Structure 1
């Protein structure tokens, strides 16, 4: 079997890749730095002697590179599993060469474009999108009238939390995309699911927004955000607690995505969202078919695909 993992050079993505390699899969690591890709390969090879690893460099903020990545993946051994894990939090003024917010391009448009391109050419595959905590995200519905995040003031207050609000909305876009794609692929041998890996330390998710973590912790302490749902490995760590030492590491975060990739238990299961290997309901604003179709069509327009 051949698995592709984006954001595979560190954190949860690297842990997913290592676990799948340990299960005997050939794993393609996708990252935007040759140096970091080589370092990730060395770490995984040291942990899994004999691991079959392929490196693919692509900056997922650049849609042209995502298209090229899809073509390269389809030109070789077709993937049996694709795990879209890459994500980040950035200031909203950081833009791609297409003029889009990087947070929107990397977190949502890249998986939308990549998975659509692959699904159109594959006969059988498991497509998995790594999302975020559905309890917290229930408060952040996608603003369908400002889908490209062109008006940061619409994200809400305080302004310092807007990078988080934007991130949360892109993760809800992921969930809505999964539901819409699963409906389109119903009756095929391609399954599409999403999952929350847990609140995990060592991901570097918000390294581009120093101080955001403290603002989020304060928001939990002040009751602005609800407490997160149950976390993989047990417990209900909240960002308002004493800090990252309370959180499990990337190996725990890799559990549900890797399980979705290979477990016979979920053979044929599609259009679901999993937390700690359990299918859960996400917020109504993410499941409404009309809203999901708006996200599908608006995403298609931004990446240059027919809906």
Structure 2
């Protein structure tokens, strides 16, 4: 009888867990935002960083489907070539180009930007999608904590260096992919670039908060330029986000994510919406979730903190006098 009772309890528990999983899955599907814009992008140029896989690849594919010339800015050129072929085959758009970009290297960012400024006559959309999580707590060759450089300082420099081209092409758009985890940041601008924050999850939270603060300050500085800049949270997505997690933890996280949350195409919808939708025209400095503008955390709306991060970032990426001229022209 005891065995029968134990089996009954286990079956009831499994049934309850399955029911809750089903409810959560239905809820996720019902609330998932979908970009409804049919806008074409023929004759326009877009850059998507980290476009060789996941959300970045799906974003690039959608922009190519709309007719844009799409530049895949990727660190792994082998995988970038595979992504390029897949996008061309899927969309029929042959205007898909790959360019090397390693955001953990300021030199790589500058080389990439120089190539773009030399080869491209216009830039209509910049999607700062590439990100790294659970990276080693070490300094890059530039003396910046490598996860923060990949997620914030590298994209910060990239955006600044491409502003002039974006302005010449205005109206143009900048999309910065952030995350809801920005709400859990333990943020200190003075130590953000160092290895002082030992917890990998909080480094990622800090980086995602930095993304939104960057958007807030940049939007303020770009007023009247014809460039709009917004942040997007893709949701919890079935991508390679967990590939660096410890094996046991990774197994359970991936099992939960694969069961309950978005695939890469669904996760890309908010980035696409912010990049192309007519509904976003005139909106800048905002934070979007499921294709809707929502309020970011109180800390993410702190304009004094945003200004402090901006000033620190300009120094850490070592902007030259020539590069600073671009910012001065935006005022």
TM range (shorter): 0.7 to 0.9
Higher alpha-carbon Rg: 2
Instruction: Indicate conservation of the 8 Å contact 1:172/1:286, yes or no.
Output: yes
Partner residue, 1:302: 316
What is the CA-CA distance between 1:212 and the residue it aligns to? 8.5
Q: Is the partner of 1:191 in helix, strand or coil?
A: strand
Alignment of 1:195-234 (within 5 A): 195-202=232-239, 204-211=240-247, 213=249
CA distance 1:243–1:268, shift in 2 (3 Å): closer
Structure 1, unaligned runs of 5 or more: 154-161, 218-238
With the length of structure 2 as denominator, give the TM-score of the two structures.
0.78
What is the CA-CA distance between 1:285 and the residue it aligns to? 1.1
**Are 1:194 and 2:231 counterparts?**
yes
Distance in 1 between residues matched to 2:173 and 2:248, nearest whole Å: 34
CA distance 1:22–1:302, shift in 2 (3 Å): same
Partner residue, 2:173: 126
CA distance 1:77–1:213, shift in 2 (3 Å): farther
Q: Is the partner of 1:14 in helix, strand or coil?
A: helix
Distance in 2 between residues matched to 1:263 and 1:87, nearest whole Å: 24
Q: Of Structure 1 and Structure 2, which has the larger fraction of its residues in helix? A: 2
Instruction: Indicate conservation of the 8 Å contact 2:47/2:126, yes or no.
Output: yes
Post-superposition CA distance 1:252-279 (Å, at most 9, x none): 0111111111111112211100001111
**Are 1:95 and 2:132 counterparts?**
no
With the length of structure 1 as denominator, give the TM-score of the two structures.
0.84
Counterpart pick for 1:65 among 92, 108, 113? 108
What is the CA-CA distance between 1:51 and the residue it aligns to? 3.6
* Corresponding pairs, count: 274
CA distance 1:272–1:213, shift in 2 (3 Å): farther
**Are 1:242 and 2:256 counterparts?**
yes
Instruction: Indicate conservation of the 8 Å contact 2:183/2:205, yes or no.
Output: no
CA distance 1:285–1:70, shift in 2 (3 Å): same
Partner residue, 2:26: none
Instruction: Indicate conservation of the 8 Å contact 1:90/1:102, yes or no.
Output: no
**Are 1:50 and 2:106 counterparts?**
no
Partner residue, 1:257: 271
CA distance 1:121–1:45, shift in 2 (3 Å): closer
